[in-house]
Amino acid sequence: MRAKVLKWSSSVLIIVGFIGFISAFPLSTGAGNITNELPWGHVSNIVADEEGNTYLGLQFYHRIQSYDKEGNFRKQWHIGCGSSGSFYIQINSKQQIVVATAKGKCLIIFDHDGNTLLSESDSIDFENYRPSKLFSYRTNDGTVYSLKNRLFIPKITKTDTAKHESVITQMPWYMMFIQGPLPAWLFFFLGMLIKVEPWKKRSRDIT
């Protein structure tokens, strides 16, 4: 009975981990009209606008994901300019989302709904767009938005000028199982380890 449970568990972990990792390929190309909330896979950095909307750069999916000031999912969109590679996001003085990519040296500007306002390639020095703090962002009024617990069930917190911290939103717990590249790969390799170990023990017992 124990062997059957282990075998079933290992198969589930392998399948879930593999799906979590392989899902990045169609999503990162912008294929299909996918508008649902995605796992927070390999976040590049976090920014926020004056309305309290927060934006995450999901490098694993080559997309930007946005939440309103109450923490409700707003939308996500593909950034264009290729389908892979590092990128950073910023907020300019017009409260537009500025994206700089390492691959193609692209500069893309979006409005807060993800509509493209400007797109140029081979036009920037990528490192000049690297934020001083990747997972913490301070707005003009002194409010600090932070990304915490980045690997397992990450969350966005807000700290006001009185140093009061509150959780705005967090990634749904069930998305952890398909959050790539980690912990999806951890689940995959754990499943492989469980699958192999009983056979190793049986082999030792026979010999």
Q: Over its length of 207 residues, how does the chain's per-residue pLDDT go in tens digits?
A: 666 666 666 676 666 656 665 665 566 666 667 788 999 988 999 999 999 999 999 998 899 999 999 999 999 999 988 667 899 999 999 999 999 999 899 999 999 999 999 999 988 999 999 999 999 999 999 999 999 998 888 999 999 999 999 999 999 988 877 776 666 556 566 667 776 765 455 544 544
pLDDT at 176: 78
Q: Which domain holds residue 10?
A: 2-206
pLDDT at 55: 98
Phi, psi dihedral angles at 138 (to 5 degrees): -105, 125
HEC per residue, 153-195: CCEEEEECCCCCEEEEEECCHHHHHHCCCCCHHHHHHHHHHHH
Contact 17, 188 (CB under 8 A): yes
pLDDT at 118: 95
End-to-end CA distance of the chain: 23
Give me the number of domains the chain comprises.
Answer: 1
pLDDT at 95: 96
CATH number at residue 138: 2.40.10.500
pLDDT at 187: 58
Chain centre distance of CA 72: 16
Is pTM beyond 0.75? Reply is yes
